[in-house]
């Protein structure tokens, strides 16, 4: 027994310590890379006059695909805002994924839709389509509405892809608020890279408590709700620091499902979104990258750090818990479905860096942390803890987290500076002190639970219930 | 003759302000809206002689407003001048197909815009 | 001081006794704490400074907009020179010597200029020069920072600062390809001279984005004499060919038709596709045979393009060919062919009606959609 405890203690002290150091080191690298990439992006795009794209007859054509499930309260406003984006050559495909509420009827009434004859080019198999609707008004020619049997988000997106007639597809959540310039800013990278760009992702921001008028964001505020406020910090860190760094080395493994512009050809050749996972956005990216590597086609996946998309974050523990549970299951599923990539030099950065990072840090991290906590509790119970040493170790991690969070806020301050009120900034900063004690343990719990549910084969769909803007 | 009423629908403040002041100087009664929602409310309340509308405005687009105004018998006599940063052929054709009375590309010439407004006001109503 | 040295000794003494792991952690902790304090101070001071600057800018911007609006409104008065003088005087009443005021003014005048043309724009340019704001553009052109340089070039083009064209000419040989291309276009733009010879010498690919900018500029200059862009369609640089094809289309240079037909066999698929598209837009009846000949040799995507072009040309000679294509198992081809037949008007539509009776369901659906 004594020996066992010694070993556990050794494991706790040595392994976890050096693992933590390695993770911290990776964060430092990520912070540096993202600073570099942010500088490059701002440098390149600040003098850009996007009107060039707006007025050109050679601007690439885009189909916006917005799947909607029970979105009755906001659907009309949101579609309206999609129809008035600053772009010329685009269509809006709204997919009603068998909503149980009045989503479809709202659309029909607001936009004078009628059912039309439409031959669907079924390149990706989906649940059956009940009808295609278009507006009787000539002013709304760019709107197409698909009504189909419920099949989940991935299935709805696939149905949209089948109907979309343009070369680029912008996949979004119908309940997001898209900035008017979003298409312009996402399309540009498709035109100014020397290699083929297969996708472009954007930053997702939290819309809670922001002023929204007519489906458009008018003023940015820090959420009143504490839980959503934590997510602001978390999203900033994830998008401004994490993804930006990965895009620097062309190692992005995920483009948020809330906003991503893709090369339709490649998406179709890969077979579209997978309905077998709850992490369809991540899984598609991995599959697209794999496809490009397999066919030895040079490519790039780009990322725009600009705030282009605003989403309503879960404001209560239940909904957030389900969302995070689903996210960790989605990640694990996507990684397992493509485990052959791991340390496979054939896949370049993807196989040697991104994929291992996701597995060893993003997935393994919470699990090791959880084990560490259990061991710690055991040791405390056995009275074997050296309090001073443990405190120093904890203080180190805490101080490091504070540095990273502060750095995130500084990145935001130096780039897009959305929280213009000084009080909002202070609130955000204070939050970074509390996060490790309040928010982080919750997230950890849900991640562990997600893994557990995955192992036990539970496949509950976390339904998002939304209050709606207005 | 009553003072002609003009509505300027434009989301760019700079342009809206200049056009508004310039029209006021000509002695018109000028109203302004920064998005399609505001515009439709104003159109409900007033009978305008001329509406200047940008195509790419938030909420309800310029083309839809054109169509709504022209298909409503109460407002069909209102003259609509569509303004767009996008002078592409298909956009212009679409605007006219929906009943726009005139089209002017952005960036535009201010005196020209004034002349066009004047011309549309002089035309007998109906 | 004493307490400081005491605590320093204490901490160092304390550190010495730790196991290596904890020792390392302590150092990281100390570094992080120091870094955290520094970053915190930076963040707060940054916010305070930018808040101050924002308030200041908002205040002065409001004043500037006020004067500018007045300027725009009284512009076409009887005495334009007087109105200009008045406005310049009004601006000089502001603390005009201050660099930030000039910066704000610079941005605003350009911003106004972007939104107006003709007389208004001329007057805005006069104002810009009278206020000596072009010296700011010149500074930008001489900046060491490439994005500032590019911004300067674009602004010189916007404000048509011909006097800066010697400075811009030097930038044509810059090391950065972005600067080169922007300088090149702006140079042509400012001199209104069709010195398109650079197209011949260009070895590197022009990114699609730069093609777009070039196109927009070229199509907006009132060139004294428009060159025949088909001259450069033989270039070995495919991006130059691509650009010239787009120009041929924009300026409707029908003379290029024969060259376009030759380009159908160009090794670059993108160029083949563009040529097909343009032949369609030109409704080039004489290209029909070549298009049909190419059909068997190209991939499905180009097949669709060819059928689209035939639909545009709609000479009526290819009805059977198109009817055959309607039966294609490839959805895109069949659908495009249906549309192409519909484009032919009555003869095509009656063929479609005939075909409808015997067609499989999916083809029926297509015909229904197209004829709806």
For residue C185, the 8-state DSSP code is H
Contact C151 A414 (CB under 8 A): no
| pLDDT value at C37 more than 70 | yes
Whether C251 and chain B come into contact, CB under 8 Å, resolves to no
Range of the domain at B65: 5-122
pLDDT at B126: 39
Can you state the angle between helices C346-358 and C361-371, rounded to 10 degrees?
150
Max Cα separation, chain A?
81
Q: Which residues of A touch B87 (CB under 8 A)?
A: 55
Among A133-137, B71-75, C180-184, C268-272, which stretch is predicted with the lowest mean pLDDT? C180-184
Q: Are A203 and A305 in contact (CB under 8 A)?
A: yes
Q: Which range has highest mean pLDDT (A131-135, B72-76, C201-205)?
A: A131-135
Q: Which helix (H) or strand (E) holds C164?
A: none
pLDDT tens readout for residues A5-63: 777 767 666 788 888 899 999 999 999 999 999 999 998 888 888 988 888 888 999 99
CA distance to partner chain B, nearest, from residue A209 (Å): 20
Interface probe, candidates A52, A385, A394, chain C, greatest C C-beta count within 10 A: A52
**Residues near B109 by beta carbon (within 8 Å), at least 6 away in sequence:** C116, C117, C118, C119, C120, C121
For the segment C270-295, the average pLDDT, to the nearest whole number, is 93
Q: H-helix or E-strand containing B121?
A: helix B110-122
Say whether B110 and C76 touch across the interface (CB within 8 A). yes
Contact assignment for B109 to C112 by CB distance below 8 Å: no
List the beta bridge partners of residue B31.
B7
C-alpha A306/C-alpha A289 separation (Å) is 23
Q: Give the whole-angstrom CA distance, residue B61 versus residue C323.
A: 40
- Facing residue for A191 by CB, picked from C33, C212, C366: C212
Q: Cα–chain-centroid distance for residue A223? A: 19
Do the Cβ atoms of C209 and A400 come within 8 Å? no
Distance CA B97, CA B92 (A): 9
Q: Which residues are within 8 A (CB) of A11 and not within 5 positions of it... i.e. 6 or more apart?
A: A375
DSSP class per residue in C54-81 = HHHHHHHHHHHHHHHHHHHHHTTSS-HH
**Residue A378 — φ and ψ, nearest 5°?**
-60, -45
Give pLDDT, residue C3.
Answer: 62
Describe chain C by its helix, strand, coil percentages, rounded to 5: 80, 0, 20
Phi, psi of A276, deg, nearest 5: -90, -5
The whole-angstrom separation of Cα C330 and Cα C300 is: 8
A120 CB burial (10 A radius; 0-12, 13-18, 19+): middle
Q: Which residues of C touch A400 (CB under 8 A)?
A: 28, 32
With b for 16 or more beta-carbon neighbours within 10 A and e for fewer, the C19-56 pattern comes to eebbebbbebbeebbebbeebbeebeeebeeeeeeeee
Query: Whole-angstrom Cα distance, residue B36 to residue A462?
Result: 37
Q: What is the pLDDT of residues C85-140, one digit of tens each?
A: 888 888 888 887 888 999 999 999 999 998 888 888 888 999 999 999 999 999 99
CB contact under 8 A, C114 and B110: no
Q: Which pLDDT band holds residue B52 (cuts at 50, 70, 90)?
A: very high
> Nearest CA to CA, how far is A266 from chain C (Å)?
14
Question: In sequence order, which ranges of A226-346 are alpha helices (DSSP H)?
Answer: 226-236, 244-248, 264-270, 280-294, 317-337
Cβ contacts of residue C333 below 8 Å, gap of 6+?
Answer: C300, C303, C304, C307, C325
HEC string for B13-32: HHHHHHHHHHHHHCCCEEEE
Q: Do B85 and A54 touch (CB under 8 A)?
A: yes
Which of A117, A118, A163, A417 should we substitute to test contact with C (largest number of C Cβ atoms within 10 Å)? A117
Which pLDDT does position A468 carry in this prediction? 35
The reply to whether residue B17 touches residue C111, judged by beta carbons under 8 angstroms, is no
Maximum C-alpha span of chain C: 104
Which residues of chain B have a CB within 8 Å of the CB of A84? Answer: 36, 56-61
Q: What are the extents of the domains in chain A?
A: 1-47+176-460
Report whether pLDDT(C221) > 90.
no
pLDDT at site A462: 42
Residue B124 scores a pLDDT above 60: no
| CB A95 within 8 Å of CB A159 | yes
| CA distance to partner chain C, nearest, from residue B102 (Å) | 18
Q: Is A214 within 8 Å of B35 when comparing Cβ atoms?
A: yes
Residues 319-348 of C with CB under 8 A from B: none
Instruction: Judge whether B18 is closer than 8 Å to chain C, CB to CB.
Output: yes
Residues of B in contact with C112 (CB under 8 A): 14, 18
Of A213-217, A414-418, C59-63, C347-351, the range with the lowest mean pLDDT is A213-217
List CB contacts of C303: < 8 A, sequence separation 6 or more: C295, C325, C330, C333
- Residue given tokens 């929204």 in the structure block: A212
* Alpha-carbon gap, residue A186 to A196, rounded angstroms: 14
pLDDT digits (tens, 9 = 90+) for A316-332: 999 999 999 999 999 99
pLDDT of residue C95: 85
Considering only CB atoms, C117 lies closest to which of B12, B15, B107, namely B107
Is residue B49 within 8 Å of residue B17, measured between CB atoms?
no
Asked if the Cβ–Cβ distance from C362 to A399 is below 8 Å, we say no
The answer to whether C219 contacts chain B (CB < 8 Å) is no
Query: Scanning every residue of chain B, which has its alpha carbon at the shortest distance from the alpha carbon of A77?
Result: B59
Cβ–Cβ of A192/C209 closer than 8 Å? yes
Taking Cα atoms as reference points, which of A433, A222, A220, A415 lies closest to residue C40?
A433
Pairwise CB contact (< 8 Å): A84 & B94: no
Do C185 and C140 form a contact (C-beta atoms < 8 A)?
Answer: no
Cβ burial of B85 (10 Å; 0-12, 13-18, 19+) is buried
- What Å distances lie between residue C161 and A81, C105, C194, CA to CA? 39, 17, 18
With residues binned 3-state (H G I as helix, E B as strand, rest as coil), the percentages for chain A, rounded to 5, are 55, 15, 30
Query: CA quadruple A366, A335, A339, A275: dihedral positive or negative?
Result: positive
Does C61 contact chain B (CB < 8 Å)? no
Which pair of tokens denotes residue A145?
Answer: 């509405």
Which residue shows structure tokens 């020619």?
Answer: A141
Q: Could you tell me the pTM of the whole model? A: 0.90
What is the number of residues in chain C? Answer: 372
Q: What parts of chain A have a pLDDT lower than 50?
A: 460-470
Residues 304-343 of C with CB under 8 A from A: 331-332, 335
Share of chain B above pLDDT 90, in %: 40
B12 shares contact with chain C (CB less than 8 Å): yes
Q: Are A58 and C210 in contact (CB under 8 A)?
A: no
CB contact at 8 A, A285 and A331:
no
Distant-in-sequence, close-in-space partners of A426: CB < 8 Å, separation ≥ 6: none
| pLDDT greater than 70 at residue C350 | yes
- Total domains, chain B: 1
The DSSP code for C116 is B
Is the previous residue joined to C213 through a cis bond, with omega within 30 degrees of 0?
Answer: no
Q: What is the pLDDT of residue C137?
A: 93
Contacts with B106 from chain C: Cβ below 8 Å = 115
Residue C358 makes CB contacts below 8 A (sequence gap 6+) with none
User: In this complex, do A59 and C216 lie within 8 Å of one another by their Cβ atoms?
Assistant: no
pLDDT for A397 equals 92
Size of interface A-C (CB pairs under 8 A): 116
pLDDT at A458: 64
CA distance B89 to chain A (A): 9
List, in sequence order, the alpha helices (H) in A340-465. Answer: 348-349, 355-357, 364-382, 387-414, 422-434, 439-455
> How far away is chain A from the Cα of C43, in angstroms, using its nearest Cα?
6
ipTM: 0.88
Give the nearest partner residue to B14 out of C75, C111, C117, using CB atoms.
Answer: C111
Min Cα distance A410 → chain C (Å) is 6
Interface of C with A in 196-215 (CB under 8 A): 205, 207-213, 215
User: Poorest-confidence range of A416-425, B62-71, C196-205, C291-300?
Assistant: C196-205
Interface membership of C369 toward A (CB under 8 Å): yes
Which chains contact B through at least 3 pairs of Cβ atoms less than 8 Å apart? Answer: A, C
In this complex, how many residue pairs, one in chain B and one in chain C, have their CB atoms less than 8 Å apart? 46
pLDDT band at C193 (very low <50, low <70, confident <90, very high): low
Provide the CATH number for the domain around residue B87: 3.40.50.2300
A-contacting residues in C 135-154 (Cβ below 8 Å): 146-148, 150-151, 154
- Give yes or no for a contact between C313 and C338, defined as CB atoms under 8 angstroms apart: no
Which residues of chain C neighbour B110 with C-beta distances below 8 Å?
72, 75-76, 116, 118-120
């Amino acid at each position: 027994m004594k020996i066992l405890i010694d070993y556990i203690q050794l494991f706790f002290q040595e392994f976890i310590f050096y693992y933590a150091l390695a993770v911290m080191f990776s964060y430092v690298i990520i912070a540096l890379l993202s600073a570099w990439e942010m500088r490059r992006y701002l440098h390149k795009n600040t003098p850009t006059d996007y009107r060039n794209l707006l007025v050109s007859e050679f601007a690439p054509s885009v189909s916006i695909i917005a799947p909607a499930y029970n979105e009755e309260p906001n659907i009309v406003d949101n579609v309206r805002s999609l129809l008035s984006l600053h772009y010329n050559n685009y269509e809006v495909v709204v997919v009603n994924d068998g909503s149980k509420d009045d989503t479809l009827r709202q659309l029909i009434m607001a936009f004078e839709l009628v059912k039309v004859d439409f031959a669907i080019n079924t390149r990706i198999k989906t649940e059956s389509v009940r009808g295609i609707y278009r507006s009787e008004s000539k002013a709304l020619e760019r709107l197409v509405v698909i009504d189909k049997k419920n099949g989940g988000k991935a299935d709805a997106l696939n149905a949209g892809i089948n109907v979309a007639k343009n070369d680029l597809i912008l996949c979004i959540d119908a309940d997001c608020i898209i900035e008017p310039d979003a298409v312009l800013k996402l399309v540009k990278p498709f035109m100014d890279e020397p290699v083929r760009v297969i996708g472009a992702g954007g930053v997702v921001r939290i819309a809670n408590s922001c002023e929204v008028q007519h489906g458009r964001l008018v003023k940015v505020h820090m959420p009143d709700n504490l839980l959503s406020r934590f997510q602001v910090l978390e999203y900033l860190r994830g998008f401004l620091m994490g993804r930006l760094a990965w895009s620097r080395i062309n190692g992005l493994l995920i483009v948020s499902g809330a906003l991503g512009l893709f090369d339709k050809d490649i998406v179709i050749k890969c077979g579209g979104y997978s309905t077998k996972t709850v992490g369809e956005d991540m899984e598609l990216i991995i599959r697209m990258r794999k496809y490009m590597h397999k066919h030895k086609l040079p490519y790039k996946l780009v990322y725009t750090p600009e705030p282009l998309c605003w989403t309503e974050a879960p404001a209560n523990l239940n909904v957030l818990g389900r969302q995070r549970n689903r996210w960790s299951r989605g990640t694990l599923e996507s990684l397992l479905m493509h485990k052959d990539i791991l340390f496979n030099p054939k896949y370049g950065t993807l196989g040697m860096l991104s994929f291992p990072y996701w597995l060893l840090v993003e997935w393994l991290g919470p699990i090791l942390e959880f084990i560490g906590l259990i061991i710690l509790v055991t040791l405390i119970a056995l009275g074997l803890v050296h309090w001073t040493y443990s405190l120093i170790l904890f203080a180190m991690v805490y101080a490091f987290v504070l540095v990273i969070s502060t750095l995130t806020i500084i990145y935001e301050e130096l780039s897009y500076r959305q929280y213009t009120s000084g009080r909002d900034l202070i609130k955000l900063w204070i939050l970074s002190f509390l996060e490790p004690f309040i928010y982080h343990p919750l997230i950890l719990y849900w991640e562990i639970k997600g893994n557990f549910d995955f192992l036990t084969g539970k496949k509950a769909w976390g339904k998002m219930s939304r209050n709606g803007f207005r | 003759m009553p003072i002609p009423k003009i509505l300027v629908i434009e989301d760019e403040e700079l342009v809206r302000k200049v056009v508004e002041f310039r029209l006021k100087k000509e002695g018109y009664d000028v109203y302004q809206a920064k998005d399609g929602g505001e515009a439709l409310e104003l159109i409900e309340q007033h009978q305008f002689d001329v509406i200047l509308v940008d195509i790419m405005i938030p909420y309800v687009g310029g083309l839809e407003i054109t169509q709504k105004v022209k298909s409503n018998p109460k407002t069909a006599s209102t003259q609509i001048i569509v303004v767009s940063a996008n002078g592409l052929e298909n956009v212009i054709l679409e605007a006219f197909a929906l009943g726009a009375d005139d089209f002017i590309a952005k960036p535009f010439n201010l005196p020209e815009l004034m002349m066009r407004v004047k011309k549309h006001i002089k035309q007998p109503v109906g | 001081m004493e307490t400081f040295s005491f605590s320093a000794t204490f901490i160092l003494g304390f550190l010495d006794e730790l196991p290596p792991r904890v020792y390392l952690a302590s150092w990281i902790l100390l570094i992080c704490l120091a870094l955290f304090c520094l970053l915190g101070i930076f963040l707060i001071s940054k916010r305070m400074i930018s808040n101050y600057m924002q308030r200041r800018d908002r205040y002065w911007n409001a004043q500037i907009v006020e004067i500018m609006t007045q300027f725009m409104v009284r512009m076409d008065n009887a005495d334009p020179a007087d109105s200009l003088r008045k406005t310049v005087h009004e601006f000089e009443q502001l603390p005009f010597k201050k660099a930030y005021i000039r910066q704000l003014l610079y941005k605003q005048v350009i911003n106004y200029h972007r939104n107006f043309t003709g007389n208004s724009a001329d007057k805005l340019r006069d104002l810009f020069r009278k206020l000596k704001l072009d010296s700011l553009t010149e500074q930008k052109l001489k900046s060491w920072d490439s994005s500032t340089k590019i911004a300067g070039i674009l602004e010189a083009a916007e404000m048509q600062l011909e006097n800066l064209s010697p400075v811009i000419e030097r930038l044509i040989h810059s090391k950065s390809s972005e600067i080169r291309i922007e300088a090149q276009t702006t140079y042509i733009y400012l001199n209104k001279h069709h010195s398109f010879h650079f197209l011949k010498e260009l070895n590197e690919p022009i990114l699609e984005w730069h093609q777009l900018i070039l196109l927009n500029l070229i199509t907006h200059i009132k060139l004294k004499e428009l060159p025949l862009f088909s001259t450069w369609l033989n270039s070995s640089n495919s991006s130059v060919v691509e650009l010239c094809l787009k120009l041929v289309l924009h300026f409707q240079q029908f003379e290029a038709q024969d060259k376009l037909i030759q380009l159908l066999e160009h090794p670059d698929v993108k160029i083949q596709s563009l040529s097909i598209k343009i032949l369609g837009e030109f409704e080039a009846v004489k290209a029909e045979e070549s298009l049909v000949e190419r059909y068997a040799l190209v991939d499905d995507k180009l097949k669709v393009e060819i059928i689209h072009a035939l639909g545009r040309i709609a000479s009526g000679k290819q009805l059977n060919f198109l009817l055959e294509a309607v039966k294609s198992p490839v959805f895109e081809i069949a659908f495009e062919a249906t549309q192409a037949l519909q484009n032919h008007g009555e003869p095509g539509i009656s063929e479609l009606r005939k075909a409808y009776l015997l067609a499989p369901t999916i083809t029926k659906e297509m015909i229904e959609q197209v004829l709806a």
